[in-house]
Amino acid sequence: MSAEGPLNAGSGDIPTVVVRDDMGRQLLCYLEQLIPLDGRDYALLTPVDTPVCLFRMHGDDEEPELIETIHTSEPILSVADVVLQEHDLLLVRSAVTLTVSGELEEPDLDEFDDEEADDETDTYELLVSFMVDNGEYGLYIPLDPFFVVARMQDGDAIVVEGEEFERVQPLIEAELDDRELAG
% the chain with pLDDT above 70: 83
Report whether pLDDT(51) > 50.
Answer: yes
Residue 132, in any domain of the structure: yes
Q: Does residue 56 share a domain with residue 38?
A: no
Residue type at 106 in one-letter notation: E
Where do the DSSP E strands lie in 40-101?
40-47, 50-57, 65-66, 90-93, 98-101
Encode pLDDT of 78-136 as tens digits.
999 999 999 999 999 888 899 999 887 765 555 544 444 445 446 889 999 999 888 89
Give the contacts of 118 (CB within 8 A, at least 6 positions apart).
none
The Cα–Cα gap between 59 and 116 comes to 21
The whole-angstrom distance between residue 46's C-alpha and the CA centroid of its chain comes to 7
Closest CA to 86 of 107, 63, 97, 102: 102
pLDDT at position 160 is 94
Q: How far is CA 86 from CA 20, 81, 168, in A?
A: 29, 9, 41
CATH, residue 151: 2.30.30
Closest Cα partner for 149 from 133, 128, 135, 170?
Answer: 170
| Residues 127 and 167 occupy one common structural domain | no
Q: Which residue range forms the structural domain that includes residue 154?
A: 8-47+145-182
Q: Do 85 and 161 belong to one domain?
A: no
In a domain, 134, yes or no: yes
Question: Using an 8 Å Cβ cutoff, are 21 and 47 in contact?
Answer: no
**Tell me: the pLDDT tens digits for 136-157?**
999 999 998 899 999 998 878 9
Same domain for 151 and 136? no
Q: Are residues 26 and 43 in the same domain?
A: yes
Q: What is the DSSP letter of 71?
A: -
Query: Sorting pLDDT into bands at 50, 70 and 90, what band is 8?
Result: low
Q: Return mean pLDDT, the chain.
A: 83
Looking at the fold, whether 58 and 137 belong to one and the same domain comes out as yes
Number of domains composing the chain: 2
Same structural domain for residues 33 and 63?
no
Q: How confident is the model at residue 64 (pLDDT cuts 50, 70, 90)?
A: confident
Q: Which of 77, 73, 74 is nearest to 85 (CA)?
A: 77
